[in-house]
């Protein structure tokens, strides 16, 4: 997908659609959508790419993993900001909302990912 601010909206739609297809509860879909927004925003601003890759996976029946891949090869960190800062809180939010998250360095860039535990809709 194109590395533009509009990519966040497209990524949120993909995440929500995936969570619905997997019969996860609405809260999981909204949390995953917020997480992907933050990861995409970071990649668009800092990733040094014309395009980014968004990944939505289900590594286990009760987990969803979302990731964004860009070409800037570096480890990212969640850094606490002051209340006066107008930006820079995205990874702090990712850290707070996800069960775990991290960065995988690739030969040509990085993948920043987050996982959350999910609940299934009761379809009785």
| pLDDT tens, position by position, 5-42 | 889 999 999 999 999 999 999 999 999 999 999 999 99
7-117: CATH topology is: Heat Shock Protein 90 (3.30.565)
Instruction: Provide the b/e sequence for 100-119 (b: ≥16 CB within 10 Å).
Output: ebebeeeeebbbbbbbbebe
Give the confidence band of 80 by pLDDT, cuts at 50, 70, 90: low
- pTM given for the model: 0.86
Residue 60, C-beta contacts closer than 8 angstroms, at least 6 positions apart? none
What was the pLDDT predicted at 103? Answer: 96
Give the confidence band of 82 by pLDDT, cuts at 50, 70, 90: low
**Of 41-50, 59-68, 83-92, 106-115, minimum mean pLDDT range:** 83-92
């Amino acid at each position: 997908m194109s590395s533009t601010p509009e990519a966040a909206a497209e990524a949120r739609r993909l995440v929500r659609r995936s969570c619905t297809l997997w019969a996860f509860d609405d809260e999981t879909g909204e949390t995953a959508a917020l997480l992907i927004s933050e990861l995409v925003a970071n990649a668009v601003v800092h990733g040094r790419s014309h395009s980014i890759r968004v990944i939505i996976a289900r590594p286990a029946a009760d987990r969803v993993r979302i990731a964004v891949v860009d070409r800037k090869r570096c480890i990212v960190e969640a850094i606490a900001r002051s209340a006066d800062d107008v930006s820079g809180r995205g990874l702090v939010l990712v850290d707070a909302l996800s069960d775990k998250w991290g960065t995988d360095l690739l030969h040509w860039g990085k993948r920043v990912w987050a996982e959350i535990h999910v609940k299934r809709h009761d379809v009785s």
